[in-house]
A and B are shown apart, each in its own frame.
Chain A
Amino acid sequence: MSAIPEDELRSLVRRGRVHRRVYADPGIFALEMERIFARSWLYVAHESQLRKPGAFLRSRLGTEEVIVARGSDGAVHVLANRCAHRGARLCVVERGTAERFACPYHAWSFRLDGTLEAVPHPSSYGKSLDIDDAANHLARAPRVASYRGFLFASLVPDGPPLDEHLGPLCAAIDNLIDRAPDGEVEIAGGGFRVAYRGNWKFHQENANDTIHPGIVHESSVEAGRQAALRDDAPDGNQTKLQLQSNGFTRREWDSLGLVGFDSGHAFMGGFYADGVLSPGADDPVSTAYRQCLVAAHGETRAAEILAVDTFNNLIFPNVSLNAQYQQIRVVHPIAPDRSVVHAQCFRLKGAPEPMFERAVHFLSTLNSPASMIFADDVEIFDRCSAGLADAHGGDWVNVARGIDSDAVRAEGGRASSGASELPMRAQFTAWLAYMTAGSMTAGSNP
């Protein structure tokens, strides 16, 4: 597996450029799964989805499918969705409540913590089956941790604790929760899973690439601009404004700030200076919501919370969080040229219900398979994937835009103007660190 020497890996990431193999080479992808996705903390679920013992859902750790279940002891377990006996997929419903997971093949049944509870006709197995042997239990992620309700798992037993991994991006989760007058959020409203033909990194790189929207999304920007604002719009003109929002002039994009960290995390600042997502929005929904937040926290604190304008908060390797949209997106790697984006939204507890309806609408407009926005991103990912599969078109992919203006930031990380590819470079700094960190002891690897 790890037959790619460290020198060779280092040669793939140069100043301002990366080798096309980082996107197109199946060997690199396999190594990413081993060294990034099996080692890093990966978001698996939100605690609001697993309120009671027995609640479970299917999720993913990279290419691996897992069951996330709340055990009878209240602890959350992340289990391989594969029977320990003959390997059959154990759970085929997306979510639910269970007392145990029983395999449909020979009826081995497992407790919510993955341990083997019973098998039918045990005498037929004789001494060959030790029911207490961990080899007969569901493989379990050795580390599961929650940051304020956001559940992450890691397939290795050792490594930095979750809050250290999240580092400065804890603030993004904090701000989402702070926006709930009751100080609590819940995932609700369903969601979308949209596949694209392209490497998982494309989605993360694209999120804070501020030059692309005016070009890739030109057709939907113009469609939004040409539509009239109307008093009776069932969506409060939200679709129109959302389509338009990608139509900043280059000077406006320049005025945004980008921040990237060596840990691979990154965010954009100041995306919504006006409109319903701005701190001063005075539409009825925003006004009623702000009153709730003021009632909960007072005028000063409420203003501070709403003034946080970081956008597309990328948590390396595969999470994107937007407090303003009340939205989380996870990009799951499936193959070097196939990824699935899973997008969901949050209800801010204590906020008027129209705030949640707005989040539902944002998600539908942006992340639906029929989205007028995301469809064009998917098309570009397809085209990058097709182009980079060609071996003779040149080896290098350019990520140098703005490289000479990246500046060290007093609070940590690096900062640049909005027109920079700084976030991509930050992601590749982390990528190379993970990829060259050598072989570590694998945990109980589902």
Chain B
Amino acid sequence: MTDAAALLSAVEAFLYREARLLDAGAFEDWRGLFAEDGLYWIPSEPGQNDPTTTVSILREDKEMLAMRVRRLGHPRAYVLEPRPRTVHAVSNVEIVELADADGLCRVASALTVHEYRAGDRAVRAARCEHRLRPAGDTFHIVLKRVDLIDCDAVHDTVISIPL
């Protein structure tokens, strides 16, 4: 196995694990995949480059994600009653850059999230970019960017479980 193939395999395993933690509702473990300087971003416009003067569907660092995760565990978060069930399907995983200027591995993937809650079904599709910092035999997420194909549309369902 070449080094590149081994790296791709390790990255895929990491992304699948991330998806599984979200589907299992292990949100604090999921948050633990982020680096201390990690950022989770869902832009509101296609190709959005501007994080501060254009609104974001979600843009949170690891500490802010702690608030989100805490809320996900609250017994009276009404939009989570009953708890949504999800399948995060990750595919089309490619390593775009082995190491960028900051030494981060840039990964592109496609994401489909199926969600079911209380009789309602939703499907979301997105392109994802992960910037991963190698850490021993695993990675830390420095950036997870989720570009929903309908990020600027009328949103028919709220996004309560992270994508």
Binding site for B on A (CB under 8 A): 188-195, 216, 218-220, 222-224, 226-227, 230, 233-235, 239-240, 243, 340, 345, 353, 356-357, 360-361, 363-364, 368-372, 374-376, 378-380, 383
Contacts and interface: CB of A to CB of B under 8 A. Distances in A.
Given A189-B54, A227-B66, A233-B63, A219 B71 contact: yes
B123 interface: no
A193 B57 contact: no
A222 B74 contact: yes
B153 A193 contact: yes
Contact of A234 (B53, B61, B67, B157): B61
Given A194-B158, A227-B66, 10 more contacts: A192-B44, A192-B155, A194-B155, A220-B71, A226-B67, A226-B70, A364-B56, A368-B58, A370-B160, A372-B68
Contact of A216 (B78, B152, B157, B160): B78
28 contacts: A189-B54, A189-B55, A190-B54, A190-B55, A191-B44, A191-B55, A192-B55, A192-B57, A193-B155, A216-B78, A219-B71, A222-B70, A223-B70, A227-B63, A227-B66, A233-B63, A233-B64, A239-B64, A240-B67, A340-B154, A360-B55, A364-B56, A364-B57, A368-B57, A370-B158, A370-B160, A376-B77, A376-B78
B156 interface: yes
**Looking at chain A's contact residues, is the secondary structure mostly helix, strand, loop, or mixed?**
helix
Interface string B140-163: 000000000000111111111000
A290 to B, nearest CB: 21
Give the one of A190, A191, A340 with max B CB within 10 A. Answer: A190
Nearest to B52: A357
A227 B71 contact: no
Nearest to B77: A219
**Looking at chain B's contact residues, is the secondary structure mostly helix, strand, loop, or mixed?**
mixed
A375 B57 CA distance: 12
Contact of A375 (B52, B53, B64, B79): B79
B59 interface: yes
A231 to B, nearest CB: 12
A370 B55 contact: no
B44 A368 contact: yes
Contact of B159 (A190, A235, A353, A370): A370
